[in-house]
Amino acid sequence: MEIPDGNLFLYCEHRNPAAFSALPKGYTLRFCREEELPLWMALHFDSPAEAEQNRPYMEEFFERVYAPHGDEFFRRCRLLCGPDGEVAGSCFLWKSLCGVETVHWYKVKKELEGRGLGRALLSETLRGAEGPLLLHTQPGSYRAIGLYAEFGFALLTDPSVGRRQNDLETALPVLREVMLPEKFALLRTQKAPEPLILAAATAPYSDF
């Protein structure tokens, strides 16, 4: 089934402790080094060709969102590394312009999916969060959406969040088709808190 592109937003006020797991034996987390920035940019795509095609977007996003904050990106961005030291994934939290911590660039390499690494990486990322969390994703990331739901995230129903339209209405039938029934049953929806929507609407650009 072809999955259309679109914007989805999830919000979490309280994490579900039962969803958390530890890193598998031999896997570690460390901060991304400055010389690894090209590696990090390419990590989020499943082929070298796709990474090259999206390189201008990744560079623009980095310059717009992270570069103005000096080396803060490198103090936050964490890489998941395997027993051999190879980078297997990445995820981190970033304080957005709308005042809420956001989950940024959650990714485990496609060939390593199904080993519990995604749950463990998200667990380690969320352990340090104290307040509400917000994230942006697409219908194609339906496996991650099911995992977010387990952790306590709900899909936002607002027509837009900041400068981006919310495509929840058209995405839900697609998610019902592609997700396992027990995962789709976990999905909850809610309206975003009004202060968040107002803050996002006045932000000069989308940074999550």
108 CB contacts (<8 Å, ≥6 apart)? 80, 88, 89, 117, 118, 121
Task: Give CA–CA dist 133/139, Å, rounded.
Answer: 19
Cα dihedral 201, 202, 203, 205 sign: positive
Give residue 128's pLDDT. 80
Q: Which domains does the chain have, with CATH numbers?
A: 1-19+128-203 (no CATH), 21-92+106-126 (3.40.630.30)
Task: Give CA–CA dist 54/143, Å, rounded.
Answer: 22
Q: Rg (Cα) of the chain, in Å, rounded?
A: 17
Could you tell me if residue 145 is left (phi over 0), alpha (psi between -120 and 50 degrees) or otherwise beta? alpha
Task: Give CA–CA dist 171/169, Å, rounded.
Answer: 6
Q: Classify strands 154-156 and 189-190 as parallel, antiparallel or unpaired.
A: parallel
Give residue 53's pLDDT. 97
Angle at 124 between CA 26 and CA 65, to 5 degrees: 115
Q: How many CB atoms lie within 10 A of CB 130?
A: 6
Q: What are phi and psi of 31, to 5 degrees?
A: -80, 145
One pLDDT digit (tens) per residue for the chain, 208 residues: 788 899 999 999 999 999 999 999 999 999 999 999 999 999 999 999 999 999 999 999 999 999 999 999 999 999 999 999 999 999 999 999 999 999 999 999 999 988 999 999 999 999 989 899 999 999 999 999 999 999 999 999 999 999 999 999 999 999 999 999 999 999 999 999 999 999 999 999 999 9
Angle at 175 between CA 134 and CA 3, to 5 degrees: 100
Residue 104 bridge partners (DSSP): 92
pTM here is: 0.94
Residue 117 DSSP SS3: helix
Residue 109 DSSP SS3: coil
Token pair listed for 110: 């496609």
Helix, strand, coil percentages (3-state) for the chain, rounded to 5, are 45, 20, 35
